[in-house]
Amino acid sequence: MSEESQYQLLDKVNSPDDVKALDEKQLPKLCGEIRDFLVDKVSVTGGHLASNLGVVELSVALHRVFSTPKDHIVWDVGHQSYVHKILTGRKDSFDTLRQNGGLSGFTKRSESEHDAFGAGHSSTSISAALGLAEADRLSGSDAYTVAIVGDGAFTGGMIHEALNNCDSNHKLIIIINENEMSISKNTGRFAAGLAKWRSSSGYFNTKKVTAKILGAIPLLGKLILKLLKKIKKTFKNIIYGSNYFENMGLYYLGPVNGNDVDALEDILKLAKKQQDSVVVHIKTQKGKGYAPAEQTPDKFHSLAPVGSKNSGSFSAEFGRYVTELGDKDERVIAITAAMCDGTGLTAFKDKHPSRFFDVGIAEPHAVTYAAGLAAGGKRPFVAVYSTFLQRAYDNVIHDVALQKLPVCFCIDRAGLNPSDGPTHHGIFDVAFLSQIPGLKIYTPATYGALKIALNEALQSDFPTAVRYPRGAESQSICEHFYKEAPLSAGIRTDFGADEKLDAVIITHGRIATEAIKAQASLLESGKRVGIILLEFIKPYDKCAELVIQALNGRHCPILTLEEEIRNGGMGMLLRDSLIKVGTYEVNEFSIMATDDNFGYSAKDENIYKTLGISAEDVEKEILKLI
């Protein structure tokens, strides 16, 4: 079957107007073609599949009922916006999804006027949508703002902060997409309670008509209506229990089948008629229409690109090591913020369920909860992506470090993460953690070094951070630096004690592979450059001492190489420590890092090259130094 015949309707849809022009009888076929398109494309490029399969009908209904870009559609996280992108003229770019310079895997304002707000992290949608709705109200616009929030995002406190700020005078529609999943199964009281709330659109139609009729009765109408509302609420609370949203003064519609496009259109039109802030509760099936994703939605949450090699990962090795620590020490606790599978903690959860805690999408709570556990004599390991730890910075300082509590932050996805892009790069944690007194930062580049770092963290009576990249360890790093297994975390060198060196590269983590390539190329031109691999970076004074010992009296130019932000990063702080002890002058250093850049990548180019920190860039900079 040719592609043209496979997508008979979808080929004709290049804008929201094309979606509106379709007969409602054509919509089920369109939704089926969209699902086939998603499976075909995402299976090749990689990306978030199950969540997008679940919102096909919702995305179609939204673009039939609302008119973007005048109306604003705000997707929480943004990873479930693929269908929205297809319907807003970006279908032909899907071969570049999540590739350097290609279509983003999240919403992105610079990519399309139909993306009202960029996202990549959870629980920001209602705050942003409320801001857009308020801006429209102040400007006299009659536009609608719609926030689509997965029920998993409601475990994040920011959602409830935004709801607390909602009033009844915004043209704001909040859609709760209940699929009982974030990445892993949802946890917590809100998720449990959400499934119990039941009402119908008919009930709300009756409610509105009754209010209109009674309100029109002279003198007594409003008094009668107020009394009836009180009576109704009392009986409803006795029989059904209270509704969180109605108690906050918001209309609540639903739940409705979120995979029924006709039902969705009806309830969205009803929500528009309210001319007020409304919560619409829909129930969708994650992975809908694709049997493998329906059966195991967690495994199809995010697919790797076709041809990717699965040779293990730091996440899996971390999970294995921390489980071993838990076997030996009953004080060991594992905490995750809705990322049990993503951080590799499934093994710990299965082996030590009473000491495993998934707190939902609530990183600040996770950190302070860990602080409380540590104050109670436990040894908590908080597994979190670097980009998500940013949200708990105050808690790390105020609740952990200030009290010198032995919490270990296990920082996954450290460094650049090109497929997810700037929202998921782990380039800031070195700088912001380096500013915190009394916290040690480990930077293992191999599984063996990771195990040593975790062991040392468990024995420490102060806060620690162990940061490691996405994916597997590099064989070139293993072979280059680890001919002998390390006994403790320190530094690794590839040069002899008295070997003559023209320059030295100091680096940490995965980007050491670029240093190795640059070294080999420089050697061909007769330049001998040594490499120092740091297995920890903070405390920097201690790190500087080890570097001086390794140099053994030699005085040669130093280039520091890292894939994190330059300002306040390893290069700047280690340079300052070396200068402080009188060993080096500023002009004898060169610092190569992600320099004042969020890590945007150019089309069809390695991200290291785009950011000026590739092996070729290192080679050129070394030649300038010497």
Element containing residue 246 per DSSP (H, E): helix 244-247
**Tokens read off for 188:** 């917590």
Per-residue pLDDT at 309: 64
Mean pLDDT of 80-84: 95
SS3 303: strand
Specify whether the CB–CB gap between 221 and 211 falls below 8 A. no
ω into 16 cis (within 30 of 0): no
391, 413, 470, 575: the active-site residue: 391
φ/ψ of residue 500, rounded to 5 = -75, 135
Specify whether the CB–CB gap between 69 and 149 falls below 8 A. no
Per-residue pLDDT at 195: 47
Count Cβ atoms within 10 A of the Cβ of residue 596 and give its class: 0-12 exposed, 13-18 middle, 19 or more buried: exposed
pLDDT of 204 above 60: no
Where is mean pLDDT largest: 192-206, 248-262, 342-356, 576-590?
342-356
Per-residue pLDDT at 207: 52
Q: How many CA atoms lie within 13 A of 564 on its CB side?
A: 31
Per-residue pLDDT at 402: 98
Query: Does the active-site annotation cover 33?
Result: no
The pLDDT confidence band at residue 566, using thresholds 50, 70 and 90, is: very high
Which residue in this structure is represented by tokens 């080890």? 546
Mean pLDDT of 80-89: 96
Q: pLDDT by residue (tens digit) across 226-269?
A: 666 556 555 444 434 457 888 888 889 988 999 999 999 999 99
pLDDT of 3 above 50: no
Q: How far is 96 from 90, CA to CA, in rounded Å?
A: 11
How far is residue 548 from each of residues 539, 551, 590, measured CA to CA in Å? 15, 5, 17
Q: pLDDT by residue (tens digit) across 20-64?
A: 999 999 999 999 999 999 999 999 999 999 999 999 999 999 999
Q: How far is 411 from 397, CA to CA, in rounded Å?
A: 16
Is the pTM higher than 0.75? yes
Of 81-95, 247-261, 293-307, least confident by mean pLDDT is 293-307
Query: Does the active-site annotation cover 391?
Result: yes
Specify whether the CB–CB gap between 339 and 183 falls below 8 A. yes
* DSSP class of 494: S
Q: Which residues pair with 383 in a beta bridge?
A: 336, 410
Q: pLDDT by residue (tens digit) across 160-182?
A: 999 999 887 899 999 999 986 54
Whole-number mean pLDDT of the chain?
Answer: 89
Specify whether the CB–CB gap between 534 and 507 falls below 8 A. yes
For the chain, the C-alpha Rg in angstroms (whole number) is 27
Q: How far is 495 from 126, CA to CA, in rounded Å?
A: 55
Give exposure, 522-556, as e/b (b: 16+ Cβ within 10 Å). Answer: beeeebebbbbbbbbbbbbeebbebbbebbeeeeb
Mean pLDDT of 455-479: 97
Query: Does the active-site annotation cover 363?
Result: yes
33, 178, 265, 363: the active-site residue: 363
pLDDT of 431 above 70: yes
pLDDT of 115 above 80: yes
In 78-156, where does DSSP find H-type helix?
82-85, 125-139
35, 286, 349, 538: the active-site residue: 286
Find, among 69, 47, 66, the residue nearest to 58 by Cα. 66
Residues in the chain, overall count: 626
- Long-range contact list for 305-312, CB < 8 A, 24+ apart? 305/44, 305/45, 305/46, 305/98, 305/419, 306/43, 306/44, 306/45, 306/46, 308/46, 309/472, 311/472, 312/447, 312/472, 312/473
Specify whether the CB–CB gap between 303 and 49 falls below 8 A. yes
